[in-house]
Amino acid sequence: MQLLAFDDEVPLARKLAEALRWPWATVQRHRFPDGETRLRLPPALPWGVVLLRGLQDPNAKLTELLLAAAGARELGAGHLTLLSPYLAYMRQDMAFTPGEVVSQRHLGALLATVFDTVITVDPHLHRVATLDEVLPGRRGLALSAAPLLGAHVAQVLPRALLLAPDEEAAQWVRAAAVAHGLDHAVCRKQRHGDHEVDVALPDVGVRGRAVVLLDDVASTGRTLAAAARGALAAGAASVDVAVTHALFIGDALAQVQAAGVRHVWSSDCVPHPSNTVSVVPLLAQALQTPQMPQTPDLGRT
């Protein structure tokens, strides 16, 4: 097995390769003046290859990813895994208005044409139960950083109340709370636009409590900011944030802090100054499980 990583993912790749004791190499890129990219892979690849590529800023990365995957096949990869700690385009899982393209379904179908397996962390699966359903005919593995974030919260704030800022985050909050014996509850959210969000607190007492908002992704930060303002207005002693994917676009972090959030803890799925919890052991364990190929599958067509 060999790990391949794009040149801007070297820190995570190095830690992961160390944990796995696997060889690793970078996908070298040259950007031509016209915006095209020349990619260079190791000239001979083993049968089993894992391509590490987080898909934050997805539009800029997808073309290179598809080219690298096709190149890896030509250079010897018989079984190709995409390891994408953040898998983009998972939120558009239905046509919310007539004519909308269901990006989750179509990106999944596209990835299924080039990868045998896709592994990710806390994909935003809401109306779809499993990642396998997103990848027709291929293997999808959705890991979760929620129990790791829960462990961190339980260690620093053993009496915290974990709050999901919306119904979709209930799955992660429940997993984190149950694993570590924390109280939890779920808010209700109404989104009116990219930056306009209302969050209603659940009917539980937050007065005097150390509240931790736990979500899969912070993008504009407006969801977390609205929930934090609500919790503080209801008398929470403190509000901290734990997220798997710290996208924090533009002024998002400033907005969250301005809403009164004290600490932001995130996993290292997306590199960010708030990274506190590492998913490297989780990823390494998944890559060493028996369903990952260790020898060529001669029956593969």
CB closer to ligand R5P out of 150 and 165: 165
CB closer to ligand R5P out of 12 and 225: 225
CB of 109 to ligand R5P, least distance (A): 23
Candidates 116, 122, 166, 240; binder of ligand R5P (CB under 6 A) is 166
CB closer to ligand R5P out of 137 and 193: 193
CB closer to ligand R5P out of 26 and 219: 219
Candidates 9, 93, 122, 215; binder of ligand R5P (CB under 6 A) is 215
Establish if 286 lies at the interface with ligand R5P (CB under 6 A).
Answer: no
Complete DSSP assignment for the chain: -EEEEEGGGHHHHHHHHHHHT--EEEEEEEE-TTS-EEEE--SS--SEEEEE---SSHHHHHHHHHHHHHHHHHTT-SEEEEEESS--S-S--S-SSTT---HHHHHHHHHHHH-SEEEEES---SSS--HHHHSTTSEEEEE-SHHHHHHHHHHH-TTPEEEESSGGGHHHHHHHHHHHT-EEEE-EEEEEETTEEEEEPPSS--TT-EEEEEEEEESSSHHHHHHHHHHHHTT-SEEEEEEEEE---TTHHHHHHHTT---EEEETTS--TTEEE--HHHHHHHHTSTTS-SS--TT--
Q: Which of residues 184-203 bind ligand R5P (CB under 6 A)?
A: 197
d(CA 140, CA 146): 18
CB closer to ligand R5P out of 135 and 169: 169
Please tell me which residue in 189, 222, 245, 272 is annotated as part of the active site. 189
CB of 28 to ligand R5P, least distance (A): 33
CB of 254 to ligand R5P, least distance (A): 13
Binding mask 218-237 for ligand R5P (x = CB under 6 A): xxxxxx--------------
Dihedral-angle region of residue 36 (phi above 0 means left; psi in -120 to 50 means alpha; beta otherwise): beta
CB of 255 to ligand R5P, least distance (A): 9
CB closer to ligand R5P out of 56 and 223: 223
CB of 259 to ligand R5P, least distance (A): 12
Answer yes or no: 61 catalytic: no
Query: Of 149, 19, 131, whose CA–CA distance to 81 is shortest?
Result: 131
Listed ranges 58-66, 130-138, 177-185, 216-224: which one lies at the site for ligand R5P (CB under 6 A): 216-224
Residue type, 237: A
- Number of residues counted as binding ligand R5P (CB under 6 A): 14
CB of 220 to ligand R5P, least distance (A): 3
Catalytic residue positions, numbered: 189
Which residues of this protein are in contact with ligand R5P, per CB under 6 A?
165-166, 168-169, 197, 215-223
